[in-house]
Structure formats: structure tokens, C-alpha cells
């Protein structure tokens, strides 16, 4: 068995990874589905993941980014999650295998922390619709947007009074 990681638009980046590279290095619970194919479609910003249980998911890069398993996104405990905004156009720039249990995704916004385990990728695929709706609701509640901020606000400070000049303190001479 091989896990295939490939980039759809650039066949030169295609990489066949022997299943032993993934499966022999770390114990995986037998009930956990294992990936058989991982294909990055950069043009449509989708990661396609097929599993040995027959499931096949098309995961938007934006969904993968806003639900990154990193501490930067999840925080270090319940209630510390950080809402990710402005990620509509984010893309994956690289996929790296990590041991026998995960991949590391590098995103176009420079985010590259967090390991996407097979179980987590499967969970994202199974629950994608509910997770997406939850994300949209959180954005709305925060008054935030999926759009990257294209506008930079510059605030000019006005001085009403001339600047205060500091004088040397009086000496005891």
C-alpha cells in the first residue's frame, strides 16, 4: 500500500510515499481510517483526501486553515480558541509527511504549525458542513469577515498644543 501525496497542477512535485514510511513509525488505532491518496488542487484551493474505509473528501484550504490543529488557532485550552479571519483566499503551498500519523500543511499566509493527523483529517471531512456553518456563525457574531483586509487605515495624530519641552531640573548650586 502507498500513500500518494501529489500536487495536481505540477506533476513534478508528485511524490509516492511508501505506506511503511507512514505506518511503521507510530502506532495507529486499528479503527482509524488511513489515507490512501492526498491530492492538492491549488487552482480550486481544495485538498482531496481518500481513506482506506472508502471515504473521499474535498476539503477547502480555508476550512483546513481556520480549523488548524495548531496552538495559534486552538489555544492552549478550552475557551482560548482564536477566530481566524480574512482566510478566503488562503492556499496550501506544501504538504509534508510527518511520521506515520500526520501531514504538516504550509499555507500561503505563512502559517505552518499544527499537525493534521489522519483522524483529524477524517473528522474534518465527515463534519465539514457543520464545521463550516459554525465558522460562519462565529465570524458573524464577531462582526468579522472571510475577506482579507485590503485597506490599511492610517490615522494622523493632531496636536492641539505645542509639544512640551523638557527642561533640566533646577540644580542645587
At residue 57, the pLDDT reads 98
Is 128 part of any domain? yes
Q: Block means of pLDDT (10 residues each) for the chain, length 173 residues?
A: 51 41 44 92 96 97 98 91 96 94 96 96 98 97 89 48 56 64
**What's the pLDDT score for residue 120?**
97
Cell of 65: 486553515
CA distance 110 to 103: 16
CATH number, domain of 93, equals 3.30.2020.30
Q: Give the pLDDT confidence score for residue 25 in this predicted structure.
A: 37
- At residue 78, the pLDDT reads 87
- What residues make up the domain containing 24? 2-142
Distances in whole angstroms, Cα of residue 139 to Cα of each of 43, 99, 136: 25, 34, 5
Residue 156 domain-assigned?
A: no
Question: How many structural domains does the chain have?
Answer: 1
State the Rg of the chain over Cα. Answer: 23
- Residue 67 covered by a domain: yes
In a domain, 148, yes or no: no
Per-residue confidence (pLDDT) for residue 149, from 0 to 100:
78
pTM of the model: 0.73
pLDDT at res. 15 = 43
- pLDDT given at position 26: 41
- CA trace torsion 152, 83, 61, 93 (10° rounding): 60
150 found inside a domain: no
Q: What is the pLDDT, as a whole number, of residue 165?
A: 57
Amino acid at each position: 500500500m502507498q500513500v500518494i501525496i501529489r500536487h495536481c497542477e505540477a506533476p513534478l512535485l508528485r511524490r509516492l510515499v511508501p505506506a511503511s514510511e507512514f505506518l511503521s513509525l507510530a502506532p495507529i488505532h486499528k479503527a482509524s481510517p488511513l489515507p490512501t491518496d492526498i491530492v492538492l488542487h491549488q487552482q480550486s484551493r481544495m485538498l482531496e483526501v481518500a481513506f482506506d474505509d472508502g471515504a473521499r473528501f474535498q476539503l477547502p484550504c480555508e476550512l483546513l486553515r481556520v480549523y488548524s490543529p495548531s496552538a495559534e488557532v486552538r489555544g492552549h485550552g478550552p475557551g482560548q480558541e482564536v477566530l481566524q479571519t480574512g482566510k478566503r483566499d488562503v492556499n496550501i503551498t506544501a504538504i509534508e509527511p510527518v511520521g506515520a500519523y500526520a501531514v504538516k500543511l504550509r499555507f500561503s499566509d505563512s502559517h505552518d504549525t499544527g499537525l493534521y493527523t489522519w483522524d483529524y483529517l477524517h473528522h474534518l471531512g465527515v463534519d465539514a458542513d457543520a464545521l463550516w456553518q459554525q465558522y460562519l456563525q462565529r465570524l458573524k457574531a464577531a462582526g468579522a469577515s472571510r475577506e482579507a483586509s485590503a485597506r490599511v487605515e492610517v490615522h494622523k495624530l493632531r496636536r492641539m498644543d505645542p509639544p512640551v519641552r523638557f527642561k533640566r531640573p533646577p540644580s542645587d548650586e
